[in-house]
């Protein structure tokens, strides 16, 4: 089954936001490990969350320097995170993620 680039891009954004919000992967290296995506794709996906009105911010760890910290979802906008959780299998299969 062919899946459109629009759908895979949308699913990738949803999955990355879910990984962050669930505490599973809250940094670029952790996202790369969880999904197998390249660094640039992970960074671009994080930047693109705002296009879905998902408010994702990087929080610097107290007393740390040089971008030591983690990403946090502050607001999901119009996205329902319960739908993502309920459809994780389908999302991961569509994206080819483990």
pLDDT on residue 14: 98
Task: Work out the pLDDT band at 62, boundaries 50, 70, 90.
Answer: confident
Task: Work out the pLDDT band at 64, boundaries 50, 70, 90.
Answer: low
Average pLDDT, the chain: 93
Place of tokens 């107290």: 62
Q: Give the pTM.
A: 0.92
Q: What DSSP state is assigned to residue 55? A: E
CB neighbours of 70 closer than 8 A, spacing ≥ 6? 26, 27, 58, 59, 61
Q: Which CATH architecture has domain 5-95?
A: Orthogonal Bundle (1.10)
Q: How far apart are CA 79 and CA 84, in angstroms?
A: 9
- CA distances in angstroms from 94 to 21, 59, 77, 85, listed in the order given: 21, 30, 23, 15
Quick: pLDDT tens for 6-51: 999 999 999 999 999 999 999 999 999 999 999 999 999 999 999 9
């Amino acid at each position: 089954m062919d899946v459109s680039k629009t759908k895979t891009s949308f699913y990738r954004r949803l999955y990355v936001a879910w990984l962050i919000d669930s505490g599973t992967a809250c940094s670029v290296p952790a996202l790369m490990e969880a999904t197998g995506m390249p660094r640039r794709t992970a960074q671009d996906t994080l930047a693109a969350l705002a296009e879905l009105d998902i408010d994702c911010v990087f929080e610097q760890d107290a007393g740390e320097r040089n971008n030591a910290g983690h990403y946090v979802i502050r607001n999901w906008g119009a996205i329902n995170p319960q739908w993502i959780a309920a459809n994780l299998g389908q999302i991961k299969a569509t994206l080819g993620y483990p």
